[in-house]
Amino acid sequence: MVAQISRRRTVRADPQRVWDVLADFGAIGDWMSAVDHSCVLSTDPDGPVGTTRRVQIRRVTLVETITEFDAPTTLAYDIAGVPRWMRRLNNRWTVRPERPGATTVTLTTSVDLGPGRVRALAGRLVGLLMAQLSNTMLAGLATRSETTHV
């Protein structure tokens, strides 16, 4: 069973500005305060899907691989480097215009721990913990998008 947790935030910036921050895949460390370092590891010659980045958070190293990229509205990536009992962890961002100068950003985290009631419950708990991180990520994205002038 897959647990999904979504968080939404309105950002006071045009959708393109928000998308430009999100789509700069290697630069998450510039706007996510918990990230100590981030960089692109590889790109795919056929486009953004398959691009990987390394994200360092304290002693934890994550490798994130783009699974969906539909500019300027959707970015999704799988997250590796999490404990083995997590079969799959995925973040999916959607960017939608709300009104002039405002954008709604939704971050949905999907957690798959496998079949069974205990694992389904554990997946929900992991999802709730990830939701707290999602709130932090949305806040960082908002701050960067609202204060960066291109």
pLDDT digits (tens, 9 = 90+) for 48-103: 999 999 999 999 999 999 999 999 999 999 999 988 878 889 999 999 999 999 99
Contacts of 75 (CB under 8 A, 6+ apart): 22, 23, 25, 66, 68, 69, 92, 93
Mean pLDDT of 34-53: 95
What confidence score (pLDDT) does residue 38 get?
A: 96
Using one digit for the tens of pLDDT, what is the confidence trace for 100-146?
999 999 999 998 888 888 887 787 788 778 878 889 999 999 999 99
Tell me the CATH class for 2-23+65-147: alpha beta
Q: Which residue is it, tokens 């998450």?
A: 28
